C-alpha cells in the first residue's frame, strides 16, 4: 500500500551551514522558562543511549557464562582494550543470576529514562511552539496591507501549519532521535573496537556503505509512492468535479468526455504503480542480497575468529548486536538529517514573517474610543502608487474637503481610484505625496488604533465569521452588553429577521455567513458599525449586489446610520447617492467634477451626467 503523503513531505530542504544554523537557533528564543526541560531531557537522552548500549554487552556475557572457554582457557586478547573488557565481564558478569538481575535493572532504568525523555521533549516543544505561534500570529495581523497584497493566503497558511508542524516534529522527536542515533553510532563503534578491532574494521567497510545505499534507494521508492498518491488525488478530483457539476455534464451530454478523462487518470495510476512495484521488488532483492549478505560476512568472520580462540562466542553475539545498532543508526541518521534540513528551512520561512516591519498598533487588548475625533477631513494633493505596481500612478493630486457630518459620494469608472482613497483614509497605505488632515491634524500623527477606532466600514462583500449573529455584531465593539447588541441590531433593521430564527441572536451564520442572504449579511455589517459608533463612516458599494427589496431595507438602515457622521459613500448605483451633500467624480486618479446631484446633472458633457444617463438606459 502506498505511503500516505503528509503536508510536510513537500517542504523544501536547505543546506545546513553556519548561517542557516544561526537562523534556526532563533527558535530557542521562544523556549523561555522551559529551557531547563530541554537540558534535563538531553540528560535523559544520554542515559537512554547509555542503557541501550549496555544490553549487547550483558547478553554476550550471559552466553559467555555457559561457554566452557570462559572457565577453562581464556581467550588471549589482541589489545589492552579487549583485556579490559574481558576483565570487566569476569568481575561483574560471571553469574547467570547476577546478569539476569542486571538486565531487569537496566531495562527498568531505560523505561524510566525513556518516559522522562519523551515527556520533557514534548513539554518544552509544545510550550515553545505555542509561544512561537502566538508571536507569529500577533505579528502577522499587525503587518501592513502592502505585505498582504504581495502574499498568497495559502502560502501564509502553510507557514502557520505545515512549517510549524515540521518544526514540531523536529523538536519533539527528530533532534532527540538524531542525537540518540549519533550516540549509538559513536558508542557502538567504540565498544566494537573493544571487542574485536579486526572484525570492527570489516564491519565498518561493509555495513555503513550498504546501509547508506539502502537509505538512498528507500528515498527513491518513497518518491515513486508519492507520485502514485498524487495521481490518485488527481483522479479523485475528476470524480469530485464531475459530481459537483453533474447537471452541466448531462446538459452538455459530456458523459463520454468525463469517462475518458477519468480513464486516462486511472491509467496513469496503473503505470506509476507498476513502475513503483518494479522498484520495490528491486529494493527487496537488494536488501536480501546486500544487507543480509554483509551481515553474513561479518558473522562468518566472527565465527572464524571464535573458532581460532580469538573471540568468545558471547562476544560475537555482542558484536552482532552492536553491528545491528550501528547499521540501523547509520540508516536512520541519514533520514533524520533530511528532516533537520526541512526543519531549518521551515524555521527560516516562519522567521521571514517575524522579520517583516509591522504597523504600530495595539494587538493585545481592546482599546475603547477615548480620544473621539470630530470628523473634519481634508485631502491635500494626494498622490499614490501601489508598492506592487510602481509603474501605475493610481491617484494624482486629489484635493477634497469634507466637513464634519457631511456625506460625500465618490463615483467614477472602475479602476479610477475610488477604493484607493478609502484605503488611504484608513491608513492601509500612506500617500506618496500630499497629506490627509483629520480635524486639522495629519492622519500620520494619530495612533493607528485610535484612528481606526473612530472609523467603521460597511463593504460590498461582507465577511462574517463562522460563529453566531451575536458574536458577529459584537465584533464592532468587543465586550459590548447584550442590550447594546440588541439595540444595534434594531437600528440596522436586522432585529426583525433575526427574531424569525429559532435561536435568534445565537443563530450560527456558517462559514463566511453562507446561511444568511446578502441583505441579511449587509444588515449584520451595519449593526456592527452602529455598535462601534464611529465618527467617520465608509460605505463601499454597500448595496450594489442586493435585490430591490433588500436594497430598500438596507438603505433605510444606512440613512439612519449616516446621521451626524462624516460619511464616505462609494457607489456604482448613482440613484443611491442623490441625497449626498457632495458628489465627487474621479477619473484616472483625478477629480473631474464635484458638486451636488442637481449641479452635476446640469453640466453639459459631464461625466456624472453621462454615467447617470447610461444607468437609466440600462434600468
DSSP 377: E
pLDDT value of residue 165: 80
pLDDT value of residue 353: 83
- List the one residue out of 83, 88, 192 whose CA is nearest residue 75: 83
CA–CA separation, 324 vs 531, rounded Å? 70
pLDDT value of residue 2: 39
Q: Residue 120 pLDDT more than 50?
A: yes
Contact 407, 377 (CB under 8 A): no
pLDDT value of residue 8: 52
CA–CA separation, 482 vs 356, rounded Å? 39
The pLDDT tens digits of the residues spanning 394-410 come to: 888 888 888 888 888 88
The strand pairing partners of 437, in sequence order, are 378, 442
Q: Which three cell numbers stand for residue 533?
A: 459608533
3-state secondary structure of 310: coil
Residues in the chain: 619
CA–CA separation, 505 vs 502, rounded Å? 9
pLDDT value of residue 544: 62
pLDDT value of residue 247: 78
175-195 vs 197-244: helix axis angle to the nearest 10? 150
Q: For residue 336, give every residue at least 6 positions away whose Cβ sits within 8 Å of its Cβ, in sequence order, or none.
A: 174, 177, 178, 181
Average pLDDT over residues 20-34: 79
Q: Which three cell numbers stand for residue 410?
A: 465618490
What whole-number percentage of the chain has pLDDT above 90? Answer: 0
The separation between the first and the last C-alpha atoms of the chain, rounded to the nearest angstrom, is: 62
pLDDT value of residue 578: 78
Q: In Å, what is the CA distance from 251 to each residue of 229, 246, 247, 425?
A: 32, 8, 6, 49
CA–CA separation, 368 vs 280, rounded Å? 65
Q: Which three cell numbers stand for residue 438?
A: 483629520
Domain spans, the chain: 15-196+342-359, 197-310
Q: Strand 566-570 to strand 407-411: parallel, antiparallel, or no bridges (unpaired)?
A: parallel
Q: Which three cell numbers stand for residue 421?
A: 482613497
Taking residue 84's Cβ as centre, other Cβ atoms within 10 Å add up to: 12
Cα 226 versus chain centre, distance: 21
CA–CA separation, 462 vs 471, rounded Å? 15
The strand pairing partners of 400, in sequence order, are 379
Contact 404, 374 (CB under 8 A): yes
CATH class of the domain whose range is 15-196+342-359: mainly alpha
Read off the pLDDT band of 74 (50, 70, 90): very low
Under the phi-then-psi rule, with left for phi > 0, alpha for psi from -120 to 50, and beta for the rest, what region is 439? left
Taking residue 396's Cβ as centre, other Cβ atoms within 10 Å add up to: 15
CA–CA separation, 17 vs 499, rounded Å? 64
> Residue with C-alpha cell 438603505?
555
Residues 409, 411, 412: CA angle, nearest 5 degrees = 165
Q: In Å, what is the CA distance from 329 to each residue of 101, 208, 214, 462, 612?
A: 28, 9, 12, 56, 78
The strand pairing partners of 456, in sequence order, are 537
Q: Which three cell numbers stand for residue 586?
A: 474621479
CA–CA separation, 47 vs 45, rounded Å? 5
Q: Which residue has the higher pLDDT, 456 or 4?
A: 456
Contact 536, 451 (CB under 8 A): no
Q: Which three cell numbers stand for residue 474?
A: 459584537
Q: Residue 84 pLDDT more than 80?
A: no
Q: Which three cell numbers stand for residue 287?
A: 536488501
Among the residue ranges 78-82, 166-170, 512-516, 518-522, the one predicted with the least confidence is 78-82
3-state secondary structure of 484: helix
The pLDDT tens digits of the residues spanning 252-283 come to: 787 888 888 888 888 888 887 787 777 777 77
Q: Which three cell numbers stand for residue 336?
A: 533524520
The pLDDT tens digits of the residues spanning 415-469 come to: 788 888 888 888 888 888 888 898 888 888 888 888 888 888 888 777 788 788 8
Read off the pLDDT band of 73 (50, 70, 90): very low
- List the one residue out of 349, 299, 353 whose CA is nearest residue 324: 299
Q: Residue 516 pLDDT more than 60?
A: yes
Read off the pLDDT band of 354 (50, 70, 90): confident
- List the one residue out of 79, 80, 60 whose CA is nearest residue 70: 60
Mind giving me the DSSP string for 538-557? EEESTTTTS-HHHHHHHHHH
Q: What is the largest CA-CA distance in the chain?
A: 123
CA–CA separation, 24 vs 541, rounded Å? 47
Cα 161 versus chain centre, distance: 3
What whole-number percentage of the chain has pLDDT above 70? Answer: 86
CA–CA separation, 172 vs 169, rounded Å? 5
Read off the pLDDT band of 81 (50, 70, 90): very low
Mind giving me the DSSP string for 33-54? GGHHHHHHHHHHHHHHHHHHHH
Among the residue ranges 117-121, 321-325, 359-363, 529-533, the one predicted with the least confidence is 359-363
Amino acid at each position: 500500500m502506498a505511503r500516505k503523503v503528509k503536508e510536510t513531505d513537500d517542504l523544501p530542504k536547505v543546506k545546513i551551514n553556519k548561517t542557516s544554523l544561526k537562523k534556526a537557533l532563533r527558535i530557542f528564543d521562544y523556549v523561555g522558562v522551559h529551557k531547563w526541560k530541554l537540558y534535563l531531557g538531553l540528560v535523559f537522552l544520554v542515559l537512554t543511549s547509555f542503557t541501550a548500549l549496555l544490553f549487547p554487552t550483558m547478553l554476550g556475557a550471559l552466553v559467555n557464562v555457559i561457554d566452557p572457554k570462559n572457565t577453562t582457557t581464556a581467550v588471549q586478547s589482541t589489545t589492552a582494550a579487549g583485556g579490559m573488557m574481558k576483565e570487566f565481564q569476569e568481575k561483574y558478569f560471571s553469574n547467570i543470576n547476577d546478569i539476569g538481575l542486571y538486565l531487569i535493572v537496566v531495562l527498568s532504568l531505560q523505561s524510566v529514562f525513556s518516559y522522562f525523555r519523551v515527556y520533557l521533549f514534548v513539554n518544552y516543544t509544545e510550550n515553545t511552539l505555542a509561544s512561537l505561534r502566538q508571536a507569529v500570529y500577533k505579528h502577522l495581523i499587525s503587518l501592513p496591507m502592502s505585505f498582504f497584497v504581495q502574499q498568497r493566503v495559502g502560502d501564509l497558511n502553510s507557514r502557520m501549519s505545515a512549517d510549524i508542524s515540521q518544526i514540531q516534529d523536529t523538536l519533539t522527536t527528530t533532534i532527540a532521535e538524531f542525537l540518540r542515533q549519533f550516540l549509538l553510532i559513536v558508542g557502538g563503534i567504540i565498544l566494537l573496537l573493544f571487542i574485536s578491532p579486526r572484525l570492527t574494521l570489516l564491519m565498518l567497510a561493509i555495513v555503513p556503505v550498504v546501509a547508506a545505499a539502502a537509505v538512498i534507494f528507500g528515498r527513491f521508492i518513497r518518491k515513486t509512492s508519492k507520485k502514485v498518491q498524487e495521481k490518485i488525488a488527481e483522479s479523485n478530483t475528476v470524480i469530485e468535479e464531475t459530481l459537483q457539476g453533474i447537471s452541466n455534464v448531462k446538459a452538455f451530454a459530456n458523459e463520454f468526455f468525463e469517462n475518458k478523462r477519468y480513464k486516462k487518470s486511472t491509467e496513469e495510476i496503473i503505470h506509476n504503480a507498476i513502475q513503483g512495484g518494479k522498484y520495490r521488488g528491486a529494493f527487496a532483492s537488494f536488501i536480501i542480497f546486500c544487507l543480509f549478505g554483509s551481515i553474513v560476512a561479518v558473522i562468518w568472520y566472527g565465527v572464524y575468529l571464535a573458532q581460532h580462540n580469538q573471540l568468545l562466542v558471547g562476544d560475537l553475539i555482542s558484536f552482532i548486536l552492536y553491528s545491528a545498532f550501528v547499521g540501523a543508526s547509520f540508516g536512520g541518521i541519514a533520514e533524520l538529517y533530511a528532516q533537520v534540513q526541512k526543519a531549518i528551512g521551515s524555521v527560516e520561512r516562519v522567521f521571514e514573517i517575524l522579520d517583516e516591519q509591522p504597523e504600530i498598533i495595539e494587538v493585545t487588548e481592546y482599546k475603547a474610543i477615548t480620544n473621539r475625533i470630530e470628523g473634519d477631513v481634508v485631502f491635500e494633493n494626494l498622490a499614490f502608487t501601489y508598492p506592487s505596481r510602481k509603474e501605475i500612478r493610481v491617484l494624482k493630486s486629489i484635493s477634497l474637503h469634507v466637513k464634519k457630518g457631511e456625506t460625500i459620494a465618490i463615483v467614477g469608472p472602475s479602476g479610477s481610484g475610488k477604493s484607493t482613497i478609502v484605503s488611504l483614509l484608513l491608513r492601509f497605505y500612506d500617500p506618496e505625496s500630499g497629506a490627509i488632515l483629520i480635524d486639522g491634524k495629519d492622519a500620520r500623527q494619530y495612533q493607528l488604533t485610535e484612528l481606526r477606532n473612530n472609523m467603521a466600514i460597511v463593504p460590498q462583500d461582507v465577511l462574517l465569521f463562522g460563529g453566531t449573529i451575536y458574536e458577529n455584531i459584537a465584533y464592532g465593539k468587543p465586550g459590548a452588553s447584550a442590550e447594546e447588541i440588541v439595540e444595534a441590531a434594531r437600528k440596522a433593521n436586522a432585529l426583525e429577521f433575526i427574531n424569525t430564527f429559532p435561536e435568534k441572536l445565537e443563530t450560527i451564520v456558517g462559514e463566511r455567513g453562507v446561511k444568511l442572504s446578502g441583505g441579511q449579511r449587509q444588515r449584520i455589517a451595519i449593526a456592527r458599525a452602529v455598535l462601534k459608533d464611529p465618527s467617520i463612516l465608509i460605505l463601499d458599494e454597500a448595496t450594489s449586489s442586493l435585490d430591490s427589496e433588500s436594497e430598500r431595507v438596507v438603505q433605510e438602515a444606512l440613512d439612519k446610520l449616516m446621521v451626524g457622521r462624516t460619511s464616505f459613500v462609494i457607489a456604482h448605483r448613482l440613484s443611491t447617492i442623490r441625497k449626498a451633500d457632495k458628489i465627487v467624480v474621479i477619473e484616472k486618479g483625478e477629480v473631474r467634477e464635484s458638486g451636488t446631484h442637481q449641479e452635476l446633472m446640469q453640466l453639459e458633457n459631464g461625466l456624472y451626467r453621462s454615467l447617470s444617463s447610461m444607468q437609466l438606459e440600462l434600468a
